[in-house]
């Protein structure tokens, strides 16, 4: 317990890593059972870990498979780097997010401690008036689902969210149908974007791109970058987060 009667962050980290003594683990789980605050913190850790395992790790492995070994950033992906990183995980550095973007410089390869400080794009969907649910990268949505976007830990002042759907159509989802990035408003740890976008009937894989920058970026520049390199679009002065899902019919 810390001084406010909650589980300290490192206890949660160790619990996630299965690295607590059994009695400590039992006590921690008992606390999670009745404390919504700690349970929410723990869920965040679990989500970060899942996101890493389901999305970031396969993506980096795919990049390796593409044979871009010569890029300097790739040394971040070697077991020599990873082994100590995973060892560190057991003493409190849990979720590691790596943006494996071959067009970015080594400086831009981002290693976030606990994942909570890495900029992220979260997608929430709603189906036929049901309850909103969080969309996991790579999961399946349906035509007519409504999607919303949440950006976390973003320090950039402007954002444009674009999409390329299964038919290859490029659209701007935020600002909806806009011609350039929109200002994000006052700095905040979490920005819930106002647009709710209803998915059309084009089926297949769809990729979302959140373009984060400190000055507006034109829609046509984003489209050109996405067309040129759908996996890792490069835009001067911008960071691009991507998010893929599948759209399937009923």
Is 33 or 129 the residue whose CB approaches Zn ion more closely? Answer: 33
* HEC secondary structure over the chain: CCCCCCCCHHHHHHHHCCCCCHHHHHHHHHHHHHCHHHHHHHHHHHHHHHHHHHHHHHHHHHHHHCCCCCCHHHHHHCHHHHHHHHHHHCCCCCCCCCCCCCCCCHHHCCCCCCCCCCCEEEEEEECCCCCCEEECCCCEECCCCEEEEEEECCCCCEEEEEEECCCCCEEEEECCCCCECEECCCCCCEEECCCCEECCCCCEEEEEEEEEECCCCEHHHHHHHHHHCCCCCCCCCEEEEEEEEEECCC
Per CB under 5 A, the segment of 2-10, 61-69, 154-162, 193-201 that binds Zn ion is 2-10
| Shortest Å, Cβ 28 to Zn ion | 10
The footprint of Zn ion on this chain (CB under 5 A) covers a number of residues equal to 4
Binding residue for Zn ion (CB under 5 A) from 15, 20, 38, 238?
Answer: 38
Selected from 27, 35, 57, 64, the binder of Zn ion by CB under 5 A is 35
Closest approach of Zn ion to the CB of residue 190, in Å: 21
Rounded least distance, CB 42 to Zn ion, Å: 9
Task: Specify the stretch interacting with Zn ion by CB under 5 A; choose among 5-13, 56-64, 67-75, 148-156.
Answer: 5-13
Query: Is residue 6 within the footprint of Zn ion (CB under 5 A)?
Result: yes
């Amino acid at each position: 317990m810390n001084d406010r009667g909650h589980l300290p962050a490192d206890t949660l980290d160790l619990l996630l890593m299965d690295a607590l003594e059994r009695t400590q683990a039992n006590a921690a789980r008992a606390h999670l059972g009745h404390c919504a605050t700690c349970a929410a913190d723990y869920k965040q850790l679990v989500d970060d870990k899942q996101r890493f395992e389901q999305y970031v790790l396969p993506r980096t492995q795919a990049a390796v498979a593409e044979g871009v070994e010569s890029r300097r950033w790739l040394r971040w992906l070697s077991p020599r780097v990873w082994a100590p990183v995973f060892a560190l995980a057991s003493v409190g550095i849990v979720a590691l997010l790596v943006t494996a973007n071959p067009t970015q410089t080594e400086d831009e390869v981002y290693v976030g401690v606990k994942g909570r400080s890495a900029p992220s794009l979260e997608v929430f969907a709603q189906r036929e008036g049901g309850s909103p649910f969080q969309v996991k990268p790579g999961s399946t949505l349906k035509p007519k689902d409504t999607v919303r976007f949440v950006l976390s830990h973003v320090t950039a002042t402007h954002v444009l969210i674009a999409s390329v759907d299964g038919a290859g159509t490029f659209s701007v989802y935020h600002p909806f149908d806009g011609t350039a990035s929109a200002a994000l408003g006052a700095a905040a740890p979490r920005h819930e974007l106002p647009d709710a976008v209803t998915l059309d009937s084009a089926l297949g894989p769809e990729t979302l791109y959140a373009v984060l920058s400190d000055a507006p970026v034109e829609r046509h520049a984003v489209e050109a970058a996405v067309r040129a390199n759908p996996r890792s679009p490069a835009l001067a002065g911008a960071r691009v987060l991507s998010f893929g899902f599948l759209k399937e019919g009923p």
